[in-house]
Structure 1
Amino acid sequence: MLRPQWKLQASLCHGACVEVDSDTEAVASRGFKLGCISCKMRGEVRAIASVDWYFKASDETVSSHIYRYEYNSEEIVDTRFYDRLEWAGSKQTKDLQDGSIYIRNVTFNDTGVYNCTIKRTLMYPNYEFETHNSKIVTVKVVPRLTRGIASILSEVMMYVSIIGLQLWLVVEMIYCYRKIAAAGEEALRESASRKNSRRLP
């Protein structure tokens, strides 16, 4: 079964929340956004949330805690990411639904598996309910951005369609020109025939 790439959940109180998959291909020496969106099922329920990010490099077997965010308070835990990580998620709210972060100056050592965990506490009138939601992002760092096969095929098909339409337009123009020319010649012949018939006694 194919996993849906996105799902839409609307809330009257908090607007629409859309869960989308993060990009997975980062370019060395550039910035890269690690996406992590977890929509709250009950928009009318007050909630507070915190976000933790973990990272396992391609040559490692255990994930390391690298980052934590909780309402205007962030902490870079792993020294490999000091001065390179910044919050790119929900702003000015304790009810976090977007737990994305941004990596500056990506290096090849950043290739690996990232795990985003959003811990959310729903505040009901008489009790609290805690939920956990995790997102896995496998990132590959490349020297330059590569184009996917689907993108290349789409562009090729676009050019084929443009060329095909242009050829069709040329054929139609030639057909119309010949039809108009033939109609003009026929009209001239009929006119000449009428003049000749009038001259006859």
Structure 2
Amino acid sequence: MAPVRLLLLSVLCTLFAYRCDGACAEVDSDTEAVAGKGFKLGCISCKRRSEVPGSATVEWYFRPKGESDFVHIYTYKEDGPTIEHDLFTDRISWKGSKRSHDIQDASIYLLNVTFNDTGTYRCFLNRFLFYENYEYNILVDKVVHLNVVAKATRGTASIVSEVMMYVSIIGLQVWLLIEMIYCYRKIAAAGEEALREAANAEYLAIASESKDNCAGVQVGE
């Protein structure tokens, strides 16, 4: 049963570490959107020291494919969001950190994506960290190269990830089967040993009783 205990301990430690230290994970944004559907532009910047209070503002810029200049399209501050370009009026919604000025997730969501949305997006996250005697300012720049297609395609990474998922599931099932067989054999062996000890104890008790009876007969004679 030792491997089972080690596995449970590892899982519990992993979950505990995730809850304590894994509240923020910097995941790259997807880069392929389907025309006519919505798409999330990811922009995540985790603080290295979560205990330090801070605040941040966010600005998004867009450079259409074939163009050389970026245009300001979106701003998110303490007083709320502002769409800065007519091309994106009523087409951007905030999908980042909520109920906090200490923004780590600055993602936005594009509604009704068109082929004109193909291009490069830049997310600037202007963060202030408040230490006891001073403020520290850092500017984070994230870039997303978006390609808009008529129909979703599956990339190699997606296929490999799915294959690895199924391999992991099958491997886990095989491991569980091996553990069940191992545990069954251990239980069966323990049961056989218990039966053997009980049989030996019963044999010794009968032999002792027979010996006592023989001794009583001899004394009577």
Q: TM-score, normalised by structure 2?
A: 0.62
Corresponding position of 2:60: 53
Q: Secondary structure at the match of 1:42?
A: coil
How many pairs are equivalent? 150
| Greater fraction helix | 2
CA shift digits 1:160-200 (9 cap, x unpaired): xx9xxxxxxxxxxxxxxxxxxxxxxxxxxxxxxxxxxxxxx
Deviation at 1:151, TM superposition (A): 4.3
Cα 1:154–1:18, aligned 2, differ >3 Å: closer, same or farther?
Answer: closer
User: Where does the alignment leave 5 or more consecutive residues of structure 1 unmatched?
Assistant: 1-8, 163-201
Cα 1:155–1:41, aligned 2, differ >3 Å: closer, same or farther?
Answer: closer
**Equivalent residue runs for 1:157-176 within 5 Å:** none
| Residue 62 of structure 1 pairs with residue 69 of structure 2 | yes
Q: Percent identity?
A: 54
Q: Secondary structure at the match of 2:26?
A: strand
Deviation at 1:152, TM superposition (A): 4.9
Measured in 2, the distance between the counterparts of 1:116 and 1:155 equals 30
Measured in 2, the distance between the counterparts of 1:120 and 1:11 equals 24
| Residue 127 of structure 1 pairs with residue 161 of structure 2 | no
Cα 1:151–1:50, aligned 2, differ >3 Å: closer, same or farther?
Answer: closer
| Greater fraction strand | 1
User: Where does the alignment leave 5 or more consecutive residues of structure 2 unmatched?
Assistant: 1-16, 171-221
| Residue 40 of structure 1 pairs with residue 36 of structure 2 | no
Cα 1:156–1:96, aligned 2, differ >3 Å: closer, same or farther?
Answer: closer
**Equivalent residue runs for 1:20-169 within 5 Å:** 20-152=27-159
Structure 1 segments of 4+ aligned residues over 3 angstroms from their partners: 9-12, 149-158
- What is the aligned-residue RMSD (CA, Å)? 2.5
Deviation at 1:153, TM superposition (A): 6.5
Cα 1:152–1:43, aligned 2, differ >3 Å: closer, same or farther?
Answer: closer
CA contact (8 A) 1:99 1:118 kept: yes
Instruction: Tell me which structure has the larger Cα radius of gyration.
Output: 2
Q: TM-score, normalised by structure 1?
A: 0.68
